[in-house]
Each structure stands twice: as C-alpha cells, then as structure tokens.
Amino acid sequence: MWIGVVSLFPEMFDAVTRYGVTGRAVERGLMRIDCWNPRDYALDRHRSVDDRPYGGGPGMLMKVDTLRSAIAEARRHGEEQAGQDDDAPVRVIYLSPQGRKLDQEGVRQLASYRNLVLVAGRYEGIDERVIDLDIDEEWSIGDYVLSGGELPAMVLCDAVARLVPGVLGHQASAEEDSFSAGLLDCPHYTRPEEVDGQRVPEVLLGGHHGEIRRWRLKQSLGRTWQRRPELLQEMILDREQRQLLDEFIDEHAS
C-alpha cells in the first residue's frame, strides 16, 4: 500500500510512520507513506501558501498554485508506484466535513485502491476548482470541524493499513475486528481475575474455545442491539446469531 500525503505539516505523519502497527508496517515495507508540502512549491519571497477568499469573509484558503503543484507531484509519484507494483490507478482523496462519511465499508473500498494520495487542507479549506479538477473523492471521518485534514488523513492511514495483508499479527484479528463483521466489539478481560471485586466472566477462564466464541459473539450482538440498533437493521443474522441475540435480549429485557 502506497500513500502520498499533501500537507503543510508533514512531520505530523511521524505519528503513523514511526509508531505501533502502522510504524511496523512501514518498517517492514508493507506500507509506504511519502509527503509533499505545498510550501516547497512556493516561489515568492515569503513562500506563501495561503490566499484571501474572493467575496471576503473570515480566514484564508490554501493558495491554488502551490497546492495544485504538490497534488500533481504526489499523483505523478503514485502513478509511478502503480506502474511498478500493479495497475491500480491512483485515487486522490480530500478530507473535509463535506465528504462521504467514513465507515469500515469505506475503509475496505479505500484500501482496495492500493495507491492513495491524501490531501490535508488547512485554513478555511481549498478552492472549489481544485476539488473539481484534482480531487477524485472527498471523505469525512465524522460530523465535526478540525483545524486541518492531517488528523483525518492519519485516521485513514491507520484504518487502511490494518487491512493490508501481513500488517496485523494474525489475519484473524482483522476479520475478528467485529466492526469488520458489522458488529460492535465484545468486552475484553486480562489479568488479574478479580479487580475491585469484579470477576472475569467464568466462561473465559474455562478454556472451552467453542463456548468462548459463542459468548463473545453473543456479547457483540447484544451490545450492538443495545448501543447501535440501526447497525443490526442492515444485517442478515444466521440461525446461531439470531438465537444468541434472542438469548441476550431475554436476559436483558428491562
């Protein structure tokens, strides 16, 4: 997976290239993240990267020429990458609250592109013509406003990295990510067996793998029913899931 990033603060991306699962993926060559800074394309003495909005109003926008140059370079580099490791075209993504809301299905779709350019805006955003001319897809990580697109871009880097084969310890943990199955995660426990009088559910101590799998599935189904029932609307439950959810509901009927 190759990810090109266009950002005025490329150092921020150390957070994904140097730490944890994503840092190890980069170290092992399973993922590569390269950055292009619009400021490197600024030709004026002040190396300006922002510009005033037509029509007035508060704040500034990203300067068009420096931003477009950075996007073009990143896209060209991505096409070189694509040429080498596969014919997947480069998709240029802009992060903004006006984009399509990201969910795990969207992560799967973005990971399938294999060569991504993520454009992180600052100030009040970017010129609409740059979106029309240079951006392929606009995505949002949620309905809230941030000061820059860098954190949303890093969220994307992390989420897609987890789907790259070999990145997670054992592939099962990607599938087991219950959100991948459209469900909320089950409760987790580790030592000690008792914390302030609260014990670990006995089933998890018994070592009966079939019982443990069913318990975890029941908890995921039940939690989803309790906290995010709308997620269940989109799901077709098999016989076992239906039975486990019915059991959970009976046990929790208020």
Residue 141 is assigned to a ligand binding site: yes
Among the residue ranges 93-101, 206-214, 217-225, 240-248, the one whose residues contact ligand EFW (CB under 6 A): 93-101
- Under rule CB under 6 A, residue 23 binds ligand EFW: no
38/222 with CB nearer ligand EFW: 38
Size of the site for ligand EFW (CB under 6 A): 16
3-state secondary structure of 170: coil
Kindly give, in sequence order, each residue whose CB lies less than 8 Å from that of residue 37, ignoring residues fewer than 6 positions away: 6, 7, 8, 10, 70
Tokens of 46: 């002040």
Active site residue 185: no
- Under rule CB under 6 A, residue 121 binds ligand EFW: yes
| DSSP per residue, 183-208 | SPPPP---S-SEETTEEPPGGGTS--
Beta strands in 102-144 (DSSP E): 115-119, 137-140
- Under rule CB under 6 A, residue 58 binds ligand EFW: no
Here's the x/- map for ligand EFW, 151-190, by CB under 6 A: it reads as -x--------------------------------------
Residue 121 is assigned to a ligand binding site: yes
- Closest separation in Å from C-beta 174 to ligand EFW: 23
Active site residue 162: yes
Separation of alpha carbons 6 and 12, rounded Å:
12
Position of minimal CB gap to ligand EFW:
121
Tokens of 66: 């420096």
Separation of alpha carbons 78 and 113, rounded Å:
11
Q: Tell me which amino acid residue 28 is.
A: R
- Closest separation in Å from C-beta 132 to ligand EFW: 15
Candidates 146, 124, 8; CA nearest to 59 is: 124
Active site residue 191: no
- Closest separation in Å from C-beta 62 to ligand EFW: 7
Separation of alpha carbons 71 and 76, rounded Å:
9
Active site residue 38: no
* C-beta atoms surrounding 95 within 10 Å: 25
- Closest separation in Å from C-beta 83 to ligand EFW: 30
Q: Which residues bind ligand EFW (CB under 6 A)?
A: 95-97, 121-122, 125-126, 140-142, 144-146, 148-149, 152
Annotated binding site for S-adenosyl-L-methionine: 121, 141-146
Known binding residues are 121, 141-146
